[in-house]
Chains A and B, each alone.
Chain A
Amino acid sequence: MSGRPAKKQYWNEPELGLWERLYIFEIVRGLSITGGVFFRNMWKWVTGRKGALTAYYPEEVRADYSPNNRGRHVLTQRPDGKVQCVACNMCATACPAYCIEIEAAIDPTDGAHPKSPARFEIDYSRCIFCGFCVEACPEDAIRMVKDTPDLPGFDRDVMWGRKDLLMLWHPLADPRKRYPPAPEPTTEVREP
């Protein structure tokens, strides 16, 4: 018996030919693959196109989002630009994550809609994007659109969707759901 044990045979022994075992040509092949991808993508970047499959996260809406994607809350507006919300607190009641906070304000000069939110805040660090607020709203004042909230931040204070941020969106031409027609201008104005 020789002192050296027989080499163990494995079922998945590598089957390398001489070409693979010389290694250098396989390196060249690998480099040509990665280099090919690099130069193809680089050519796209240089000619002003996008040479990547990933998306810039908050800036860019991903192309594969569903049209019904419930990403970010928006507060709809009346044609005169005022917020449609009447601060009834139904959305805050329906919210399972308790993340909506509304402070009402009253404007007695507005006959049709005297109540409006002074503060309308959504805590995006707690929101679960369930969409119950949209369903609860009797005035169609809150909707969710195909967008991402501006979440990245260094602490929780910047994760609040405030009223002015929620109203940055001006969806006067939403193809899926028409906006209510502009109300007739009220003629009788009660003096305060």
Chain B
Amino acid sequence: MMPDLLVHGLYIAYVLGFLLGLATIFTWVERKQSAVMADRIGANRAYLRIPFTQVKLVWWGLFHGIADGLKMIFKENFTPATYDRFCYNLAPWLASVPVLLVFAVVPFGGEVTPGRFFEPGSAAAEFFGDRSWRMQIAALDAGILFVLAISGVGILGTMLAGWSSNNKFSMLGAARAASQMISYEVAMGLALIAVVVTYGTVDLNDMVLWQQQAAWGILVQPVAFLLFLTASIAENKRIPFDLPECESELISGYFTEYTSMKMGLFLLSEFIEIVVISALVVTLFLGGYTLPFLRPEGFVLPGGATWELSHFAVVVLQVLTFTAKVFVVGCFQIGIRWTLPRFRYDQLMDLGWKFLLPLAALNLVVTAVVRWWTL
């Protein structure tokens, strides 16, 4: 009981720190990567001054995220003459909490046996015993269903935000956001079903282990990878799918009327969702936390050569591998955001319903036939 509480408490703390920290870093990456892509320098003015000295830490503008957060928190919390104050205040939470929840089923490391970190016989080793835990907050057997179910709840938040703001722009943005998210959720679900058929499991950790045994999902299911990435970016409402909040038409879309940290929640949840999408893509298609040849006892090369590693080193290596993969995929998403122009709305719907959905269905059929043939 107590070790369970401690381990899962640590997991939750780690995951929250991971999500929020990486989301803040991605705000910086978004600025700097776009700047370097466009021959610019990028934001570099915010600094931390070490107290009692004149030493200013600029660190390539890394602290702009902190400055943004502080600005959001201390701004005036302006509330419009809204029709429904309760829904207005509820909406940012409904939009941001599901994004955080989705990460609960994503494994960010392999099996960990905390008792092996300590000297055998010491008090800590006795406390943990030889039990092992999966590095996953909720080791649900229905992992991927959880992802689909919870990410569907986020739509409610955007719709409530647009509806309760009492503003035509917000309303239009909310209508666009809802139809877009509903449309792309269908394609996303079909793409995921093909993945489930291939791996033969809905448990995300088992999917990672399957990929370790066979091959990375991007090689087995390249079409599903493309479909899932496209649909997730559309779910996240980022360019090229940012019609719900396109500045040139709708000011800021469904959160036009929001100020201070309520708007900050919408913006932050967008960046957290980048992390979550990257984590899902990594888990489903890029081998999750595994490295090639990394086994629980160390590196085992195909020639038979082994490089023994301690349990602690393996665990740290897995967590770092996962973080690095998530970072790379997130940077790729930001690269897409700064490369592609925005769709027109009919093009967006055409892409969703006439291209992605049939392609996902076709992919599912082909996968099912191949699976049936090889079983």
A residues engaging B (CB < 8 A)? Answer: 24, 27, 30-31, 33-35, 37-38, 41-42, 45, 51-54, 56
Contact = CB atoms under 8 A, between A and B. Distances in A.
Nearest to B355: A23
A37 B37 CA distance: 6
A31 B336 CA distance: 7
Interface in B286-342: 335-336, 338-340
Contacts of A51: 36, 39
A34 B335 contact: yes
Contacts of B226: 24
B35 to A, nearest CB: 7
A182 B340 CA distance: 65
A54 B226 CA distance: 36
Describe A's contact surface by its main secondary structure: helix
Given A30-B340, A52-B39, 14 more contacts: A24-B226, A27-B340, A30-B339, A31-B335, A33-B339, A34-B338, A37-B36, A37-B38, A41-B36, A41-B37, A53-B39, A54-B39, A54-B41, A56-B44
Contacts of A30: 339-340
Contact of B40 (A24, A31, A42, A54): A54
B33 interface: yes
A64 to B, nearest CB: 15
Contacts of B44: 56
Contacts of B35: 52
Contact of B339 (A31, A42, A52, A53): A31
Contact of B36 (A24, A33, A45): A45
A45 B39 CA distance: 11
Contacts of A24: 226
Contacts of B36: 37-38, 41-42, 45, 51-52
B40 A34 contact: no
Contact of A52 (B40, B335, B340): B40
Given A51-B36, A52-B36, A38 B335 contact: yes
Closest 7 CB pairs of A and B: A53-B39, A34-B339, A38-B37, A52-B41, A41-B36, A30-B339, A34-B37
A30 B338 CA distance: 10
Contacts of A56: 41, 44
A80 B5 CA distance: 76
Most interface-central of B37, B40, B338 (chain A CB within 10 A): B37
Interface in B18-62: 33, 35-41, 44
A42 B340 CA distance: 21
A116 to B, nearest CB: 32
5 contacts: A34-B339, A35-B335, A38-B37, A38-B335, A54-B41
Contacts of A54: 39-41
A41 B39 contact: yes
Interface in B332-359: 335-336, 338-340
